[in-house]
Amino acid sequence: MRFAKCKRKRIWIPVCVICLFAAGWFRYVSDCYRSDVTLAEYRTADGNVAVSEIKDGIFLDGPGTTRALILYPGGKVEYTAYLPLCGRFASSGIDVFLLKMPCNLAVFGQNKADEILASYRYDEWYLAGHSLGGAMAASYAAGHPDRLNGVILLAAYPTKSLQADDLAVLSVYGSEDGIVNREKIKKGRALMPDDYTELVIEGGNHARFGNYGEQKGDGAATIDRETQQTETVEAALRMMGSAP
């Protein structure tokens, strides 16, 4: 009898540990920053951009036909929060694939660009990402520089070399960003191409690349989201215009 009780205890202890871990993980991934906009609301925001759902996210089809951008959202941020930023790109002639990540964490979807690149045809491809999404975009680009014309890092930095022929790189972050690691941005410069572009948006912060409210630990922005996103798109368009 005593042996049977010990055996049951040995079984239940790991089961309880697994259940506690699962509950903690579910709570962690569920506690994300919610978008201020919905897909239904945004469908009618710009008559020049057709917005549709695709298997891995949302496709914004603007007046352009030759260039496309794939965007990886920030960690624990609802992906629809980037619809306004993506809409600005699409209105400017850059079609956009806004991707939804497993558990809102791009670390689990680093290679999601693969299927988009294989399924659609454009003359030029650009990959962008915000925060954790930017880090994963940089890692993907480092491993597939021949598949991309450029990379746009929003409050993010590379951990692998982006020094490749014919790969343009733009790094953008806000002067009031209280979350991005400035020391790692500094170290990341050694991994950039010699002619990469770095833009510090005066008055911008971490969260205003998306539309999901304020982010814990972030600095207080002195410009609005529209200004920060517009300056980001304008810098990206300049980079694309000078891309090899």
Q: Which residues of 159-187 are buried (b: 16+ CB within 10 A; e: fewer)?
A: eeebbeeebbbbbbbbebbebbeeeebee
Cα 1 from Cα 171, distance rounded (Å): 67
- Partners of residue 198 on adjacent β-strands: 171
Residues 29-79 pLDDT 10s: 446 799 999 998 888 667 789 999 999 999 999 999 999 999 999 999 999
* pLDDT value of residue 4: 57
Residue 25: pLDDT band (50, 70, 90) is very low
* pLDDT value of residue 1: 58
* pLDDT value of residue 11: 56
* pLDDT value of residue 32: 78
Which H or E element spans position 54?
A: strand 50-54
Cα 24 from Cα 44, distance rounded (Å): 38
Query: 68, 124 in Cβ contact below 8 A?
Result: yes
* pLDDT value of residue 21: 36
* pLDDT value of residue 13: 53
Cα 166 from Cα 149, distance rounded (Å): 7
Query: 157, 139 in Cβ contact below 8 A?
Result: no
Residues 108-120 pLDDT 10s: 999 999 999 999 9
Residues in the chain: 244
Residue 28 has pLDDT above 50, yes or no: no
Residue 12 has pLDDT above 90, yes or no: no
Q: Report residue 17: phi and psi, to 5°.
A: -60, -45
Q: Report residue 151: phi and psi, to 5°.
A: -130, 140
Higher pLDDT, residue 157 or 10: 157
Supply the mean pLDDT for the chain.
90
The CATH topology of domain 37-242 is Rossmann fold (3.40.50)
Mean pLDDT of 204-225: 98
Q: In what order do the strands lie in the sheet with 95-99?
A: 50-54, 57-61, 95-99, 67-72, 124-130, 150-154, 168-174, 197-201
Residue boundaries of the structural domains of the chain = 37-242
